Homo-oligomer: A and B are copies of this chain.
Amino acid sequence: MIGLRSQTNTYLNINLNKIIENYKIVKKQLRKDCEIAAVIKANAYGLGQKQIVNTLNKHGCYKFCVSNIDEALQVDQELKKALYIMHGINSSEMAEICIRYDFIPMLNHLGQIEVWNRACKKIGKKLKAVIQIDTGMGRFGLSESEIKKVLKNTNLISNIHIDYLMSHMSCAEQAGHPLTSLQLNEFKRYIDLFPKIKATFANSAGIFLGHEFQFDMVRPGCALYGINPISSDNPMQNVVELYGYIVQKRIIEKEQFIGYRAQYKAAKGEKLLIIECGYADGYVRALSNKGICYAEGYFLPVVGIVSMDVVIVNASILPEAIFNEITHIEMLGNHITIDDVAQYANTISYEILTTKFGNRCKRFYIDD
């Protein structure tokens, strides 16, 4: 099998070259002068923040988004020109950390604006922050009445250098969703209220909706990691390959139940592979009796309930020679994509990647 890198282990390949290809694909979509702040929260969607930041940085990406201060402190500070704290700051202690490390908080409600304005006043410097406005996501961001308060009483933001106005899209990957244009129009309405301030709106899916959605900076996350950001064919390159190690091969001697709770009955003669990769490895339990793996041109269904440490696949379709010689199967890669696995598990690719995916197995970073 091509790419075999570990004889007796399940292993994960993370292809940093593909991350760069994806970065370039995203870049090609952009209007002139539109900047990129790569989203590297959740340990870069589970793939390794240090490696991803380092790689992107070498290819001209210097702006990054993380969830909170804890994540920001884990980033190599030498490699960033801007590090955005998406969940913002709720205390003067948090503001002081941002000031010390030159982090740029996203301010999501009046309380956060007050904290930053006060902290900036205290040190006598107008420091950068992003102001997030809720345009329909209903999660972070100032409400309409909060924006009105800010506009009425500019003292509230008098010590803040507004780096960007920001909003976040809720349904951008669903083609033609009515909320998308509603959010865009709302956002434009707010932008007009803050003349000469730059704006950032699009996540990965938003970027692919075209120049109108991109404004001055975009915030790609999933697309960099190979997740399909649109509702048609995936324009991104696959980044991850998970090869499951076969711990045991079985040929069923008489009809019997397989796995916990007896949720699959194997027939006499059925060939099974016991793979060292279970839900504790991120091969989620929802894949029980639903996942599909791949080996040497054949697709192999998961049978029975996924265990904590192993999953069982039916390999009856494999020719005998292959069955006897094979040591690993593809659980995710170029034949079984991350989006396929998410679909089998009735979730989204983001959750597959970030849910401890490959945390316990060997990881190999491919970087030519």
Binding site for B on A (CB under 8 A): 7-9, 41-43, 45-46, 67-68, 70-71, 86-88, 90-91, 93-94, 108-109, 112, 136-140, 143-145, 170-171, 174, 177, 179, 247-250, 252-253, 256-262, 266, 272, 274, 276, 279-280, 282, 284-286, 304, 307-310, 312, 347-348, 350-351, 354-356, 359-360
Is the beta-carbon distance between A261 and B171 smaller than 8 angstroms?
yes
Is the beta-carbon distance between B356 and A93 smaller than 8 angstroms?
no
Is the beta-carbon distance between A248 and B347 smaller than 8 angstroms?
no
For the complex, give the distance between the alpha carbons of A308 and B71 in Å: 14
For the complex, give the distance between the alpha carbons of A262 and B43 in Å: 26
When distances are taken between beta carbons in the complex, the residues of chain B under 8 Å from A43 are 280, 360
In the assembled complex, the CB of A315 is this many whole angstroms from the nearest CB of chain B, namely: 14
In the assembled complex, the CB of A190 is this many whole angstroms from the nearest CB of chain B, namely: 15
Can you tell how many copies of this chain the complex includes? 2
In the assembled complex, the CB of A260 is this many whole angstroms from the nearest CB of chain B, namely: 5
A-B contact pairs, 10 of them (CB 8 A): A8-B90, A41-B280, A108-B247, A109-B248, A138-B257, A139-B307, A140-B247, A143-B253, A308-B350, A355-B355
Is the beta-carbon distance between B144 and A253 smaller than 8 angstroms?
yes
For the complex, give the distance between the alpha carbons of A136 and B304 in Å: 13
When distances are taken between beta carbons in the complex, the residues of chain B under 8 Å from A90 are 8, 247
Best-surrounded residue of A45, A46, A252, A280 (most CB of chain B within 10 A): A280
Further 4 A-B residue pairs, CB within 8 A, beyond A8-B91, A70-B360, A174-B261 = A136-B257, A170-B260, A284-B355, A285-B347
In the assembled complex, the CB of A127 is this many whole angstroms from the nearest CB of chain B, namely: 19
Is the beta-carbon distance between B354 and A280 smaller than 8 angstroms?
yes
Of B8, B112, B171, which one neighbours A93 at CB under 8 angstroms? B8
For the complex, give the distance between the alpha carbons of A257 and B272 in Å: 46
| Closest partner residue, chain B, to A169 (CB atom) | B260
When distances are taken between beta carbons in the complex, the residues of chain B under 8 Å from A259 are 137-139, 170
In the assembled complex, the CB of A115 is this many whole angstroms from the nearest CB of chain B, namely: 11
Is the beta-carbon distance between B248 and A108 smaller than 8 angstroms?
yes
For the complex, give the distance between the alpha carbons of A261 and B348 in Å: 12
For the complex, give the distance between the alpha carbons of A30 and B215 in Å: 67
Best-surrounded residue of A46, A94, A137, A138 (most CB of chain B within 10 A): A138
When distances are taken between beta carbons in the complex, the residues of chain B under 8 Å from A144 are 253
Please judge, given known A-B contacts A170-B259, A276-B68, whether A88 and B355 are in contact too, CB under 8 Å: no
Is the beta-carbon distance between A262 and B67 smaller than 8 angstroms?
no
Is the beta-carbon distance between A355 and B282 smaller than 8 angstroms?
yes
When distances are taken between beta carbons in the complex, the residues of chain B under 8 Å from A45 are 280, 308
Is the beta-carbon distance between B355 and A280 smaller than 8 angstroms?
yes
| Closest partner residue, chain B, to A143 (CB atom) | B253
When distances are taken between beta carbons in the complex, the residues of chain B under 8 Å from A177 are 262
When distances are taken between beta carbons in the complex, the residues of chain B under 8 Å from A262 are 136, 170-171, 177, 179
Is the beta-carbon distance between B257 and A179 smaller than 8 angstroms?
yes
Of B91, B350, B359, which one neighbours A7 at CB under 8 angstroms? B91
Is the beta-carbon distance between A248 and B140 smaller than 8 angstroms?
yes
In the assembled complex, the CB of A65 is this many whole angstroms from the nearest CB of chain B, namely: 11
Is the beta-carbon distance between A309 and B351 smaller than 8 angstroms?
no
